[in-house]
Amino acid sequence: MSWNKILCNYKELQLFGTLNGGQSFRWKHDKDNDEWLGVFSKTVWRLKQNGDSLQYQVIGSLHKKTDTNCSNLKEDLIYEKLLKDYFRLDLNLGEHYKEWSEKDKLFETACQQFYGIRMLHQEPVENLFSFICSQNNHISRISTMVEKLCTHYGDEICTVDGVTYYSFPQIENLADNKVESKLRELGFGYRAKFIQKSAAQIVDWGGDKWFKSLQDMKYKDAKQELMKLHGIGPKVADCICLMSLNHLQALPVDTHVYQIAAQNYLPHLRGKKNVTDKMYTEIGDHFRKLYGEMAGWAHTVLFCADLKKLKNKDDNLLTEGESQKKKRRK
């Protein structure tokens, strides 16, 4: 299968930090070939970077032209548009990195290694239920839960190397009363109730139209609406606002983010055992004042730079950067 190409400088998009930084849970890295296989928008993709381009293959898809709001485009351009939207490639990240670096020395240091960290533009339904699964959980188990949701309640897309891939479930498929008991059987624990109850609420409130209304609201109003759902607290609400509702000033605060803030920006918060509501707001407001309307995106770069699993990949990232430079010189 041939590769399609989208022009994109490697400094503008780093697949490793973007796809492996805890935003999405459906991507797997083939280290031998430095390729990524994953699912979004009812489509199975294979991605890689080569010089100044993002290359992709569409392995299988359930997409119809009417799904994309671009029915006048050729099929290959439809998939190109989906990828560009997913990685928000219309935004010049270098300009924002320069702006954030001028405001913050720590960011200036972090971005040398963690260039090209993109805030994915995810589908709200997948984003919301993936992050319900993320509560008090680690990434490998979150990924397993998300795949169970897809296998049992999504639609089959295709089979690759003996593995069958499914789309993320429609919201109605998760709202049935029988879903909770089934998910408990599958090991979701208390999250089973949150998933079924939240899905039922969203269906009652209008489904996609409700999500669209959240995008049109001011950030704080959208966050409050999300917190009316079963099992959705401030952090998960901020994740959804940031990653799928275009409220890029949203800043999810967990203990990890608290430690970054306390050690480097707000020393009076050091040594606290729990992140209180007051502390949560103070940390978010501090970074919004520092970075501006895209504070959540800027702070994601700091978050990636501080993650141990990404730190352990420093040598690989340096090698990747150097290899891209060499390819550009050819």
- Residue-number span of the structural domain to which 56 is assigned: 1-90
Share of residues in the chain with pLDDT > 70 (%): 90
What pTM value is reported for the model? 0.90
List the structure tokens of 8: 């994109």
Q: Residue 326: pLDDT band by 50, 70, 90 thresholds?
A: very low
Distance CA 78, CA 320 (A): 29
Report pLDDT digits (tens) over 211-230: 999 999 999 999 999 999 99
The CATH number that applies at residue 55 is 3.30.310.40
The answer to whether residue 144 is domain-embedded is no
The answer to whether residue 287 is domain-embedded is no
Distance CA 261, CA 125 (A): 30
What does the mean pLDDT of the chain come to? 90
Residues ≥6 apart with Cβ < 8 Å to 208: none
Q: What is the pLDDT of residue 318?
A: 39
The answer to whether residue 329 is domain-embedded is no
Catalytic (active-site) positions: 235
The answer to whether residue 75 is domain-embedded is yes
The answer to whether residue 269 is domain-embedded is no
Report pLDDT digits (tens) over 235-258: 999 999 999 999 999 999 998 899
Q: By CB neighbour count within 10 A (0-12 exposed, 13-18 middle, 19+ buried), where does 90 fall?
A: exposed
Residue 70: pLDDT above 90? no
The answer to whether residue 316 is domain-embedded is no
In the block, residue with structure tokens 């972090």? 110
Distance CA 79, CA 189 (A): 37
In the block, residue with structure tokens 């994309």? 68
Number of domains in the chain: 1
The answer to whether residue 117 is domain-embedded is no
Q: How many CB atoms lie within 10 A of CB 126?
A: 24
Q: What is the pLDDT of residue 21?
A: 87
Evaluate whether 101 touches 27 at the Cβ level (below 8 Å): no
The answer to whether residue 13 is domain-embedded is yes
Residues ≥6 apart with Cβ < 8 Å to 122: 23, 24, 40, 86, 243, 244
Report pLDDT digits (tens) over 6-31: 999 999 999 999 999 899 999 999 99
